[in-house]
Amino acid sequence: MAEETQQITRDVMISAYRLAVSVTDHISGNIPSLLAVAYSRHFGVAIGDGSGIEEYGDIRSLLAILTRPLPLCASARVLIDRARSILIDGPTLSMNVELAEGEELPDALHTLLQGTIWACFLTAGASPIDSPRPAALWFLCRKTLFTATAALDGALPVFVMPGSAVPADLRCYSGRLFQGRSRVPVPPVHKLYHGFGTTLAVTAAGPWGWGANGWFALGLGHGGPTPPGPLVFTDAPEAENTLDSLGPWQQRALVVDAFIGHRETVLVTLAGVLVAGSNQHGRLGFRRFLTVPSWLLLPLRLRPCNVVSSKHAVALLTPGRAAFVAGDNSFGALGLGHTRPVVGFSRIPTPVDAVALLGRGIMLLSAGRVLFAGRASPVCRALAGFEIGEVVVAPVALPLPHPVDAIVSDQDRVVCLTMGGVTLGAHECQGSAVSWAVGDRVTAARGKGGVTVTGASGQAWNGTSHGIVQSIPALEQA
């Protein structure tokens, strides 16, 4: 009797499936797939495609078959009931409803997470919606269009280091990271830093890094181009223990902030300040090493809010207007008021709001004044009248007409001093320097391969031997 009942159920399900294929092609909801999955759940085998066999009837006939009290397992009955609901009430078009207790989301496009849809479309080759020729896939339905605009508005910002080019093809939404149209194989990303060809991601599984990795700046024990991988703290057990204590998928909390320079990386973590990279002139605070190939913990109890570096020195700035410097102190270039060698990081005696490291000199912004110490370069002469090569051991204030709000520089190549809505600047050109002024607050400066400064308005200027000339908007400059 049981075998006979099963055979009747099998025949009814096959008949319903064939009829659904014939009469529901104009109805949203894919009823044939629901019936095929229900058959598979109950009988443990595929139903087949039903090709070559036509079932005659209409929607009423199909609904009558599905209303029969068939002895199906619970998981198959759920799908039959969903198919009946679609035939009677139409498919669910919105998820703006609360789920009842025990109710599950249907397996449908509109119930997928937006981040999942975005990642699938990019992987399939869809160009982003803000590109010159966005892919037609984004306009498939309201859900996909909403996903595209949400990914644009909710994109994870990339913290780009000053003086570094913006990686235009690096995109992250809902934790999924893409370089162009290729998924970057990293855990879900919460913060993203990029500088000088090296990228660092704070992920749910801790910090990961990849890219140029010059001067061992990722602390992996080797330099040169590196694929994505987790950062390891073999020589910094305090950081390793802290990471382990956070537990799986909560390890993003380890890194508070990160700074990627030309030759080093500084991580501000719950365990303290970690450094890796070039230690020439002791610029990372260690006496014996030319490089720091793996992460080391600085013996400082502070949490920097900014890091400024040159090939000769590194400066750590804190929210309390304290600045700590390490590196080559020849000519008094660290602003400490003497020329004695420095081991480790030393605190500059003056309260400091901002620092510009100028090769063999330093500029300190302190309560609106700009102080200079070290050996004067052509840029220093153009801005403040120093003789080229003049040595100033004790920091002296520059004679400026108004209080300075900000310093923006790219080592000795270009220096900008912002006063209100006006910026005085100078850049090196063919062994000398040219001074100039623009009516904007300069926010970024690059002096490698030609001088370019960018204002808060988005306008950019190029430097020439005649001064500064207006150029193209900053968005195009990047």
User: Taking the domains of the chain in order of start, what are their residue ranges?
Assistant: 2-93, 110-153, 155-299, 301-399, 406-478
CB-CB neighbours of 456 under 10 Å: 14
Going by pLDDT thresholds of 50, 70 and 90, the confidence category of residue 253 is very high
Task: Look at 7-16, 50-59, 186-195, 346-355 and tell me which has the smallest mean pLDDT.
Answer: 50-59
Is it true that domain 301-399 has CATH number 1.10.730.10? no
Q: What is the dihedral of CA 114, 116, 120, 123, to 10 degrees?
A: 110
pLDDT in the model for residue 472: 40
Q: Which CATH class is domain 155-299?
A: mainly beta
pLDDT digits (tens, 9 = 90+) for 164-214: 877 878 999 999 999 988 999 999 999 999 999 999 999 999 999 999 999
Q: Distance between CA 314 and CA 342 in Å, rounded?
A: 12
Helix (H) or strand (E) holding 270: none
Residue in the block written with tokens 């949203």: 28
Please check the confidence at residue 264 and state whether its pLDDT lies above 90.
yes
pLDDT in the model for residue 469: 66
pTM: 0.79
Q: Distance between CA 242 and CA 219 in Å, rounded?
A: 17
Give percent helix, percent strand, percent coil of the chain, each to the nearest 5. Answer: 25, 30, 40
Residue among 191, 211, 95, 182 at smallest CA distance from 143: 95
Please check the confidence at residue 98 and state whether its pLDDT lies above 80.
no
Average pLDDT over residues 303-312: 94
pLDDT digits (tens, 9 = 90+) for 101-157: 877 777 777 788 899 999 999 999 888 888 888 888 899 888 899 999 999 999 999
Going by pLDDT thresholds of 50, 70 and 90, the confidence category of residue 473 is very low
Q: Distance between CA 371 and CA 393 in Å, rounded?
A: 11
Q: Distance between CA 294 and CA 112 in Å, rounded?
A: 41
Return all residues near 119 (Cβ < 8 A) that are at least 6 apart: 174, 176, 178, 183
Return all residues near 146 (Cβ < 8 A) that are at least 6 apart: 114
pLDDT in the model for residue 52: 52
To the nearest 10 degrees (0 to 180), the angle between helices 59-67 and 2-23 is 150
Q: Distance between CA 342 and CA 349 in Å, rounded?
A: 14
Say whether 301-399 and 155-299 share the same fold.
Answer: no
| Average pLDDT score, the chain | 89
Tokens of 416: 């900008």
Strands (E), 152-310: 158-160, 170-173, 176-179, 182-183, 189-195, 198-203, 206-211, 226-230, 255-260, 264-269, 272-278, 291-297, 306-309
Return all residues near 79 (Cβ < 8 A) that are at least 6 apart: 34, 35, 37, 38, 41
Average pLDDT over residues 450-454: 82
Q: Distance between CA 357 and CA 374 in Å, rounded?
A: 10
Going by pLDDT thresholds of 50, 70 and 90, the confidence category of residue 96 is low
pLDDT digits (tens, 9 = 90+) for 382-410: 888 899 999 999 999 999 989 999 999 98
